[in-house]
Structure 1
Amino acid sequence: MTEYNARIQTETARLAALAEDLTVPVPTCPGWTIAELITHVGRLHRWAVHVLRGQVQERIWPRQVPSGLAEGESGDAAWLTAGAAELLETLRVTDPELAVWTWGPDKRASWWSRRMFFELVVHRVVAELALGIDPVIPAEVAIDGVEEYLHNLSYAAWVTRPLAELGVEGATIHLHANDGPGEWTITQGPGGKIEWAAGHAKGDVAAQGSAEDLLLMLYGRRSPAALTVHGDGDLLGRWLTTTAI
């Protein structure tokens, strides 16, 4: 957990530095500006703090947790930084094995550290894209991010419900990072659930690119057209549209 905590601090500083003009539109989050993006991330930090400090055991969502903002008010860089500092202090004093509610499969405090880190990475990239900055995610971070995404995906009910209606049960999607030791095969199971395994395999469709490309593609922030795709591209497109979180 300590490793992710240090990275949370770095990514928060990077995102805060991008929040000079809060009115800039964010094309990869239609309808949002930088202000909405900062507010979203800061709410997630305060949500995690609430869960960890209260040792919450039942489902609770960000909007149910006080943010310190007045109704209709947006966060700014200082508000984001303050919330991240509170999160980091909470993670520092919390037992990583503490049993708490999460929306993923791991019901331990350590889940929140990794999840909040990747929320920051993806939203920092989103802000950079909005500002015309070429984002950079180191390959080892992006590979970890792909596995974190796949690890949690079957537990996101807002994804599994529409996946169950997609009619692609049994389909396989292979992902291949060309800048690091990252290969994964996703198999669509019943009820919208997925199974995945690391390693080389043949899928109904395969997407190859940098680990950064693959991670951002999974999050709906990079088009499959930016990668090399073999096989059923329509399947990949429909699956990605349904699963982006």
Structure 2
Amino acid sequence: MSSLAHDLYCDEIIARTDALRAALLGVDLGATVPTCPDWTLRDLAVHLGGAHRWVGEIVRTRATEAVPPERVPEFTPGNDDPAVLDAWLADGAARTAEALRAAGPDEEVWSWAWERSTGFWARRMAHETIVHHADAALTAKTGYEVAPELAADTIEEWLEIVAFARAAGDERAAGLTGAGRSIHLHATDAPGAEWLIEFGEDGFAWRRAHEKATVALRGPLTDIMLVFNRRLAADSDRVEVLGDAKLLDFWLGHSVFG
């Protein structure tokens, strides 16, 4: 269930796309994205813009099953011109946010996940855009900031996605077990932004808590979010790892989806 206002997610889709577009201005779109090494910056932009338009089509048509990409209008930009790509990104984000706003959060639509609603897609696309803006910003070496409530929600949504992947039979996520082990995420710049992830014999659970754990990851909330999404290395000097660092590495290696 979405934890923030529907309109906030819609606003973030546009604002974060604008920030990503700014990061791409004047840079080599053929540059490899270190955090997604199979992609260039152009590939990253086309992936995100296509995702926006795909979700927009699901929402506009109130789709009850997956929509094939070939049925999505303008699923890819018209050509390789950077200006065309930029305009395509802006238009796709705006149209998708408009469709989500018009629908509200409670319309039933198809999704691949545990919640089949327009509210799910608003949240998912906001966080998809937040994380891929990080990819672009880290590649282009531009600034990157996320509002605390959105950074925290990105972490919580990722926990939900990994739990879903495990329940759905993902082989890598299936390994996230082991009673008596735990991870503490501790944001040092946002009161209350702390999580305890506890492993059991049949999976893992999490809650907001300040408790001693097998390993703790401490640092600014945005950096905690970036590490948790594998966009910043856990051994970065921007964060601190206390305790069994191998357990954090184990989590990062198994908490995947898709």
TM-score category of the 2 structures, normalised to the smaller one: 0.7 to 0.9
| Counterpart in the other structure of 1:242 | 254
User: Per-residue CA shift, 1:149-177, capped at 9, x if unaligned?
Assistant: 22332123588431213664553211111
| Counterpart in the other structure of 2:15 | 10
Which of the residues 55, 68, 85 maps onto 2:74? 68
Q: Does 1:232 align with 2:241?
A: no
Q: 1:66 to 1:17 in 2, by over 3 A?
A: same
Return the offset for 1:102.
2.5
Q: 1:194 to 1:103 in 2, by over 3 A?
A: farther
| AA of the residue aligned to 2:214 | D
| Counterpart in the other structure of 2:229 | 219
| Counterpart in the other structure of 1:56 | 63
Unaligned runs of 5+ in 1: none
Contact conserved, 1:139 with 1:210, CA < 8 A, in 2? no
Which of the residues 45, 65, 73 maps onto 2:52? 45
SS in 1 for 2:222: helix
Q: 1:162 to 1:61 in 2, by over 3 A?
A: farther
Which of the residues 184, 198, 207 maps onto 2:208? 198
TM-score normalized by the length of structure 2: 0.83
| AA of the residue aligned to 1:15 | L
TM-score normalized by the length of structure 1: 0.87
Return the offset for 1:69.
5.1
Return the offset for 1:87.
0.1
Contact conserved, 1:220 with 1:244, CA < 8 A, in 2? no
RMSD of the alignment, in Å? 2.6
Following superposition of structure 1 onto structure 2, how do residues 1-245 of structure 1 map, counting pairs within 5 Å? 1-20=6-25, 21-58=28-65, 60=66, 63=69, 66=72, 68=74, 76-156=85-165, 160-165=170-175, 168=178, 171-180=181-190, 181-189=192-200, 193-226=203-236, 227-244=239-256
Q: 1:72 to 1:206 in 2, by over 3 A?
A: farther
Return the offset for 1:124.
1.0
The number of aligned residues is 243
| AA of the residue aligned to 1:40 | H
Return the offset for 1:244.
4.3
